[in-house]
A and B are shown apart, each in its own frame.
Chain A
Amino acid sequence: MRILNHRLFFQKRIEPITGINAILFRIAFLLFGLVVAGLIFLLNGVNPIITYIDMIRVNLLLIPNTIARFIPLLAIGLGLAIPFKARVDNIGAEGQYIIGMLTATGTAFLFPDLPGIILIPLMFVNAFILGAIWAIPVVLFRAKGGFQGADVVVSFLLVFPALYLMEWLVSDLWRDPETGFTYSSLLPENAQLPKIPGTPIYISIFLILAITLLVYYFLFRNIDGIPKLKLGYEINVMGKNPLAGRIAGMSFFRVILITMIFSGGMAAIAGVGEVAGNALRLGVKSQGYGYTGIAVAYLGGLNPLGIIVSALFFAALKVGGLALTGIPATVLQLFSGIIIFFVLLSEFFFRFTIKMRRES
């Protein structure tokens, strides 16, 4: 690009930005993203500064709510980060999350008399299994799809059967006979997740935080550049150069299968929490956490510790969104989209810098 008689161009940095600087860089780009979102508000006649201040205020008042929203976002974001790292672009977490909700509800309605101590774990296990099964076509298409982006397309298309299945079940089989609205009956009490007293925070938070830390410890924490598990190393290799990995004898299919089982399972577990801990009954609409989870994973740098922070950030956006009058519920997706772009941009500037040269 030319400005006056100067030419702007990109030049590779001699040393790419890493470590703490990379985190600061990312935060700076996140702020740029919020400015851009603010401009869109402005164009819609909403004062962004007041809006952002309101959002912070709401969050300070409703910290427990923010933490409650944080639970599904963390589970989904973590679940997505691992296949993303292995270059499987699963964007169908929404579908796997819905399957989780359905499985939990179905399990609860099928065994309403089991004591909670058995029923609740059973709900989680069933949901994990079915969520994982829902994710497996993505693996097949990623490995054998025959074209770029097959995994993305198929994972997204799989959201709709899940959604319509939910619509069907809620409007027919599980419909609440008392009210007649299109939502299911309340879950039996022994299927409801216990909460931290006085807050809407349900107990899956401990499960999910524990999984996050375990994943960090076993797959992500490098000592002398080496992760704990072979799987962690294989994910690194497959994500960066599957060709070299496969020639060395690694199985691409096995690695992505494991990552996607985990991914589908985690999204489904988030769904269990949503229906058994938060809503307590099934409706016809889902929350769109599956899409926000993509942004959570990328903003967190595909690292469990980063994802804890970014999930909190998006939970705050979600709760803060309540403060936005005159802006619809999809605003969270607006933020997510913009933030994904700015995360991509920040990654570019990790490796490149803008230079200017005078031209004659």
Chain B
Amino acid sequence: MDSVLEMKDICKTFYGDGIVVKANDHVNFSLNKGEIHAILGENGAGKSTLVNGLFFPPDSGHIFINGVEVNLDNPLTAIKEYKLAIARQDLSKSLIERHTVAENILSFSEGFFLSLAEIERAIKKALQKFNLGDINPKAKVWKLSGGEKQRVEILKALITNPSILILDEPTAMLTPPEIERLFSLLKNLKEEGKSIIIITHHLEEAINLSDRITVLRHGEVVGVLDTQKLRKDYANEKEAIMHLASLMVGKEVLYDLHQDKVHTGTIVVELDDAVVNNDMGDAVVHGISLHLKTNQILGLAGISGNGQRELIEGLFRWRNLEKGRIKIRGQDVTNKPIKKVRELGVAYIPEDRRKALIFDLSVRDNLMLNSYQNSKSLIIDRSRIIPETEALIRRYNIKTTSPLSPIRSLSGGNRQKVVVAREFSLKQGKDLILIAENPTFGLDVGTTQFVREELLRKRAEGAAILLVSSDLTEIMSLCDEIAVIFKGKIMGIISRENATREMIGLMMGGAHQTEVLV
């Protein structure tokens, strides 16, 4: 088979602030003509870094396109001369929210003057051709839903008519039917002779879609597998997946969590008929009511961007409610400041670490962010804080050279441990109300396991927990009750015993509980 793309000995190192990360360590990769090649790996395994090497030069290594060594030092060279195109994972770094869809899709327009009308026509045509649904090219990107944004990003890549298409985690914001459509599109493109790289950490996706799979772990290639052969070698898909999983994460494998039976307690948080606006001033939560109870994990499942963030930010008073009421332990806090809510024991683990950590300050400074206020006087009680923070570092096994090292110098997993340590110790037992937003996002397997176990431990101790997650596995393995959110509305609340993955999946795509149960 001819390989259209070969990457040899690719090395890329990230420096800085106390850490050196070898994101790619002598990685070899090849892509054949007309194949779908999946790059599989955990978060932080170096998948995105590898394909980024096609647009910005890696530290060292050689890249061959159609057998000829090329120097890709600028994205434009890659896009224009070698017909590469990429749909990136992090849409916040790829789409311009305040511009229209047409203004975002600029890469194929040339010349000094700009005919937006022409671009808009081209977009409409392309949407039809690739069966990507209906998107108004004149719409501002921030008006679009997560799934629509993802489709715009994919269109942005497709519209240049690339010969090599790279999709970095393209399904994160898509509903199951949308994923189906995307995959059949990719198969069609393959028939047309295009070569496709798809980056994913979903094992099923890799097996079902690809011809070959390259598995990365800690910046190194640990295996290149032929999918057909993989299927043949194992009796069923499940075993094949297990094999891939062990390759991907090494010895550490997520084991089943042991969930003690606990009796759900009393209601501590009542949210009634909440309407919340997003940053742009549009209502994205439309009249949601939720109750949190002690000794319970309530899961809020949904594709990200369906109003989860605004809902929880409204819940702990970071955002104003346009309508509705919040009661915490019987007290009406609807218009109370955030400080009051925090004093009532509401702890918060945001998905965006910048909301929880001060990167330039020390581990200790970050750990004392809640507890420094505990003394009544103006003076910080050093004699209490120091042993407390040191105990947290030990208890949560935070790996740092010193409590005075800045957060910057910690690895991603240890950074999240700092947040977890601080927020989990805000109150003890039944006094703790915990709001966790994708708490394991971007973490390695070990830390993921650790965070999940801690959540269950807190539940057993009596905490009321709201777990917002777009990861179905996480929801299914941790929650007592599952609420599914879609376009700012609750599609239904099901206890875990009655829930199946399929039901939740359908509800995440907009089906109502009543439709699913039939």
A–B contact at 8 Å CB threshold (below): yes
Contacts from A to B (Cβ < 8 Å): 11-16, 223-231, 233, 236-237, 240-241, 243-251, 351
Which among A230, A236, A244, A246 is the interface contact of B354 at CB below 8 angstroms?
A244
The complex places the Cα of A236 from the Cα of B364 at a distance, in Å, of 13
Instruction: Please give 11 more A-B residue pairs, beta carbons under 8 A apart, in addition to A229-B380, A245-B358.
Output: A11-B15, A12-B16, A14-B15, A228-B379, A230-B372, A230-B380, A241-B360, A244-B354, A247-B338, A249-B339, A249-B370
B378 touches A230 (CB 8 A): yes
Complex interface: chain A residues within 8 A of B382 (CB): 223-224, 226
Are A248 and B369 touching (Cβ within 8 A)?
Answer: yes
Residues of B within 8 A of A (CB): 15-20, 318, 337-339, 341-343, 348, 350, 354-362, 364-365, 368-370, 372-373, 378-380, 382, 385-386, 403-404
Q: Is the pair A237, B358 in contact by a Cβ cutoff of 8 Å?
A: yes
Which of the residues A230, A231, A237, A246 comes within 8 Å of B365, measured between beta carbons? A237
Q: How far apart are B372's CB and chain A's nearest CB, in angstroms?
A: 6
* Chain B contacts for A233, CB-based, 8 A: 365, 368, 372, 380
Please determine whether B16 and A249 come into contact, CB atoms closer than 8 angstroms: no
The secondary structure that dominates the A interface is: mixed
A236 B378 Cβ-Cβ under 8 A: no
With A12-B15, A246-B338, A248-B369 in contact, do A225 and B404 touch (Cβ < 8 Å)? yes
Residue among A13, A16, A226, A229 with the most chain B CB within 10 A? Answer: A226
In the bound complex, what is the Cα–Cα distance between A240 and B372 (angstroms)? 17
CB-based contact A251/B339 at 8 Å: yes
The answer to whether A229 touches B369, judged by C-beta atoms less than 8 angstroms apart, is: no
A224 to B364, CA, bound (A): 9
Q: Determine whether the beta carbon of A240 is less than 8 Å from that of B368.
A: no
Q: Which residues of B contact A223 (CB under 8 A)?
A: 382
Residues of A within 8 A of B16 (CB): 12-14, 351
Instruction: Kindly provide the distance from the CB of A87 to the nearest chain B CB, expressed in whole angstroms.
Output: 12
Q: List 10 A-B contacts (CB under 8 A).
A: A14-B18, A16-B17, A224-B403, A226-B364, A226-B368, A236-B361, A241-B357, A244-B369, A248-B342, A248-B370
A13: which B residues are within 8 A, CB to CB? 15-16
A248: chain B residues within 8 A (beta carbon)? 342, 369-370
Closest CB in chain A relative to B339 CB, distance in Å:
4
> In the complex, what residue of chain A is closest to B385 when comparing beta carbons?
A226
Q: Nearest CB to that of B352 among chain A residues?
A: A243
Does B348 lie within 8 Å of A247, measured CB to CB? yes
Cα(A351)–Cα(B16), bound, Å: 8
Query: Closest CB of chain A to B195's CB: distance in Å?
Result: 28
- Tell me whether A244 and B18 are in contact (CB under 8 A): no
**Among the listed A12, A237, A245, which residue makes an inter-chain contact with B17, where contact means beta carbons less than 8 Å apart?**
A12
- CB pair B380–A247 under 8 Å, yes or no, is no
From known contacts A230-B372, A233-B365, infer whether A244 and B355 are also in contact, taking CB-CB under 8 Å. Answer: yes
Contact A228 B380, CB 8 Å, known A12-B16, A16-B17, A243-B354 = yes
Are B379 and A229 in touch, CB under 8 angstroms? Answer: yes
Query: Across the interface, do B365 and A236 meet the contact criterion of CB distance under 8 Å?
Result: yes
Residue of B with least CB distance to A229: B378
In the complex, chain B residues whose CB is within 8 Å of the CB of A229: 378-380
The one of B20, B364, B370 that contacts A14, using a Cβ cutoff of 8 Å: B20
Q: With the chains together, A244 CA to B356 CA distance in Å?
A: 5
Q: Which of A16, A243, A249 has the most CB of B within 10 A?
A: A249
| B361 contact from A231, A240, A251, Cβ within 8 A | A240
* Chain A residues within 8 Å of B341, by CB: 249
Residue of A nearest to B377 (CB): A230
A14-B20, A244-B369, A249-B342 known; A225 vs B355 contact (CB < 8 Å) = no
Closest beta carbon of chain B to A91's beta carbon, Å? 23
B17 adjacent to A249 (CB under 8 Å)? no
Across-interface contacts of A244 in B (CB, < 8 A) = 354-358, 369
* Chain B residues, Cβ within 8 Å of A247: 318, 338, 348, 350, 355-356
Find out whether the CB atom of B358 lies under 8 angstroms from the CB atom of A241: yes
Docked Cα-Cα span, A247 to B378, in Å, equals 21
Contact of A227 among B318, B356, B380, B404 (CB under 8 A): B380
Q: Compute how far the CA of A356 lies from the CA of B368 in the bound complex, rounded to whole angstroms.
A: 42
Give the chain B neighbours of A250 by CB distance below 8 A: 339
